[in-house]
Amino acid sequence: MERYILTLFLFFSFNSVIGQATLSIEKEISFPDLRVEISDDISLPDIKVKIGINVSLEDITVGITNSKSKADFIISSSSFPDKKILYGKSLSFKDLQICAGENVSLPDFTIEIRKSGLVDHLIYSDKGYVSIEEIVICLLDIIKKKLKME
């Protein structure tokens, strides 16, 4: 009986950690894995994302949490994140251009930010404040998968 309980405990404790992705998303970072130019006024972007609190017909919903163990994505200043991402409004050597904001017309993808209730994905940040740009970059793998860009 004790073995059974120990096995269940280990399964559920490790199962919650496996689904998390740790990202270092900075405006200044050396040797990034990805360089993303993100703004609400890019003329010919690769992806157009409408994101905000009152977004209708959303593709996914997202929330911000203060519990690291419940988060799907962790924005961290860790030395060893899963991915290092450099972002800004005007980058010279960019891998991806994203037009993201609340007033984006004809979006490829829509994200609703919810303050409470059930959401599809939770984001935690060591920094405290999470910007719209950081939310979109956190969800980039999900966006690319739903748009079949991989």
Q: Tell me: the pLDDT tens digits for 45-75?
A: 999 999 999 898 999 999 999 999 999 999 9
The answer to whether residue 4 sits within a structural domain is no
The answer to whether residue 10 sits within a structural domain is no
The answer to whether residue 71 sits within a structural domain is yes
The answer to whether residue 15 sits within a structural domain is no
Structural domains in the chain (count): 1
Does residue 41 contact residue 94 with C-beta atoms inside 8 Å? Answer: no
Specify burial of residue 6 (Cβ count, 10 A radius: 0-12, 13-18, 19+).
exposed
Domain range for 32 is 20-146
The pLDDT of residue 12 is above 70: no
The answer to whether residue 14 sits within a structural domain is no
Indicate the pTM of the whole model: 0.83
Quickly state the pLDDT bin for 14 (edges 50, 70, 90): low
